[in-house]
Structure 1
Amino acid sequence: MKPHTSFLPHQALEKVLHGVTPLAVEEVTLERALYRVLAEPLDARLQDPRFNKSAVDGIGIRGDDDSPVFEVTAEIAAGDGTAHRLQRGQAVRIMTGAPVPPEVSRVIKLENCSFDGSCARVVQPERISNIAMQGENIRVGQPLLSPRRLQPPDIGVLASQGYRTLLVHRKPRVAVIATGDEIYPADAELPPAGIYDSNSHQLSAFARDAYADVTNLGIVGDSPDRIRAALREAVSAHDVVMLSGGVSMGDLDFVPEALSEIGAETVFHGLAMKPGRPTLYAVLHDAVRVSRIFGLPGNPISTAVQFELLVRPLIWALEGATYVPREAWLPLPDGYRRANAERHEFRPGVYRDGSVVPLAYKGSGHISVLAEATLFFAIEPGVHSVEPGSKVHVRFIR
């Protein structure tokens, strides 16, 4: 049966994300929390600053003391106590980050002072206090971080608040399977009509880039038995399964039948887009997990486009995050024309001087173009031509 091609990319994504809930929660140490998705909002445990502290290197003086010359009675560094009493005419030399004694209400920067032994003269008075006040940045109990994918600054904030462990969502487990009798591993000697397996490696790398735990189950050829066996192995332990090849209309395209035989329900098979028209998406429910399965075309540009449009957002959603692609509308200086405008088309290009420059592109098997491309630009259905200088929708991939 010919795959239907009724779904546009945004409609397919809606189907993929429908009913998806985040995976289970687990505890990790702060050292292992980078790029994990926080499962709960966190509040501040400490005030920041914890105490009144100097924002500069300088001399600390009383607020009611306008003397031009001061006797420096002590030196306070970061980490020291504040047990220093000041009389009029006295000052303390104080370092950035050091706690400010109770009597000190102003810190004069070192560069605005001159020194002669233990005497300090203010040569440039200052109106600001140069003191960071206790709790001016963060108060105990105020919201600190909402659930999100944790970035390096988030780790620093949490460390400053004394967090040692965090609750995060489990990483999605992704399995990758390559079909095709023409596909060979890198250590094999290629026959005249053979090609090395690139899709499983590319898809594995994409999935790791989406922060998933990935298992590459290798090459299963065009054997229905091996495809079924690999699928059963994949769904037994993985949340997402990606197969490359075997989903079109040829005599050796066994993936749709194999999915049916293991009990998976096909949600869609065929998209109104180029490249990636034969793309298939199925779901398998069992007592332990829900496995979401993508049958992707065998051509590398097709797999790359479909991963970006459909698989990456799903992986993020399973981890409790929303993937927001980097998109823009940018001018296409030389325009674009095509004869067939039935499908939503994505073409590789680069960003240059505020515009889109299409790359020389010989179709969805042109794998080397992916090493150059920084974006895909889209031409919507029904659009036969884009006039020079008109803007097109762009999705950045690096």
Structure 2
Amino acid sequence: MERLCEDLVTNILLCLPAKSAVRFRCLSKYYDQLVSDPRFATGHALRSNPDEVLGLLRFTAGRSADKILFCSFHSKPNIHNNPKVVPINSQIIASCNGLVLGLSDSSLSVCNPILPDRIQTIPALETPYGAKCDLGLAYDPIGFSSLEFKLVHVYREQILNMPQDEDAYGFKIFDSSANSWRQSTCKLFLRHLIPMQPHFYELRGQAVYLNGYVHWFRAFGDIVAFNVEKEEAKLIGMPPELRLAWLNYQDYSWFGAADGFLYVVCVFKRQILMWALLDYENNKWGLVRNKIKGLSRVARPLFFDGERLVLNCGPKKKLLRLFNMKQDQWTEMGRLPRNTMDDSTTVYVPFNPTLAPLINSSDPSRTASLPVLPTVMPINNKCKKRKRGRVDRMKSQDQERIP
């Protein structure tokens, strides 16, 4: 009978949202061990939708009081007139399926925001970290053989006597189970038709993890992809019109994964261009041109999941608006606080809770930089649950598909 009760309790907890299940840890040692068990995290991921995003994390670096905001998709309106702000010491580099990668005082750490006592400090690299976008985070609660995460550091190889029209990238991998870095034998050699300017080799934005690959957008207008399991790398090219749009409108573009595809979204006045990598193996892109009502000026895209598009609008970029592609409807998420304003250092990363366990450190300094995230920005109505769809679901009368 006792075993039956335990199984019943476990099944009930597995049906709860991740954030609700975490609250049971404070009831007793039994519940704490149960929710913290890696097997429980795996079972919870199988029953839930690990790709469901509950909100966005907003971070602005380079200020004396760096702050992070949680912009929720599901909060009730007008919870607080003055949103709560949590000071932190870390710069958020990337997020992947609920885990967050932060950099503080040249020290990297991976944290699960809904489990603030679970944080793993990353050993230092022998090579300099360089720009923040040189690192990618890979975590798949279902696809990986275990609940480990991996970090990938990509860097330009310095090879003697290399021709000016050639370039090479090397990779280093951090495995959370081994808690150490190792050099990958994989090298990505590229040959260009003409020698490129040095800044074209730079990686822009945050790395994106999808289908076993970590992707980096190069300033030249193509994508470096690295398979974390097979340790294989390749270069993904783009159509000329997409490359031109990216080079000219990077400040109004978004690169990420949505609905199982890689997307590049460029926002113009009164229309939005969306490119999707429909055929990953054969490098075939599809373009969807959307004519959107109510878009009076160029806005900055922050997030896209195949149906919902979040834009930062207004002359001072303080108003967050959500456009539902399927319903052809705008929703105001909320306004940024008075003392905050987006600039070139501001980043928004999607947040989807996970129960992934990390190394529990007894050192308070290792857990002080990434705390629990409060709800700080309400929206005007509750977003309904949606079903995941394909690219063709976005067709409407105001959309024109270009072959």
Shorter-chain TM-score: what band?
A: under 0.3
TM-score normalised per structure 2 = 0.25
Q: Indicate the structure whose relative CO is greater, using CA pairs within 8 Å and at least 6 residues apart.
A: 2
* Largest Rg, 1 or 2: 1
TM-score by length of 1: 0.25
Higher strand share: 2
